[in-house]
Amino acid sequence: MPNVAITLTPALTRLFPGCPRQLELEATNVRGLLDALDQRWPGMRDRLSDSMPRIRPHVNIFVDGERSVLETRLRPGASVLIITAISGG
Partner 1 sequence: MSKTLILLGTRKGVFILESDAARRDWQLRGPYCDCWPMNHVIADPASATIYAGGGNEWFGPAVWKSRDLGQSWTHSSEGLKYAEGEEPIKAVWSLAPSAQGLYTGVQPAGLFLSGDDGQSWRQIEGLRNHPTRPKWQPGGAGLILHSLIPHPRDPQHIWVGISAVGVLHTANGGESWEMRNRGTRADFNPEDQRYPEFGQCVHCLVMAPGTPDRLYQQNHCGMYRSENAGAEWESIETGLPSSFGFPAAAHPRDRDTLYLVPLNGDIAGRYVPEAKAAVWRTRDGGKHWQALREGLPQKDVFFGVLRQAMAADRHDPAGIYFGTNSGEVYASADEGESWRCLAQHLPPIASVETLIVS
Binding site for partner 1 (CB under 8 A): 11-12, 14-15, 42-43, 46-48, 50-53, 56, 58-59, 84-85, 87-88
Closer residue to partner 1 (CB): 42 or 76: 42
Beta strands in 1-77 (DSSP E): 3-8, 22-26, 59-63, 66-67
Query: Is residue 66 classed exposed, middle or buried when 0-12, 13-18 and 19+ CB atoms within 10 A define those classes?
Result: exposed
Q: Minimal distance in Å, beta carbon 6 to partner 1?
A: 17
Closer residue to partner 1 (CB): 10 or 77: 10
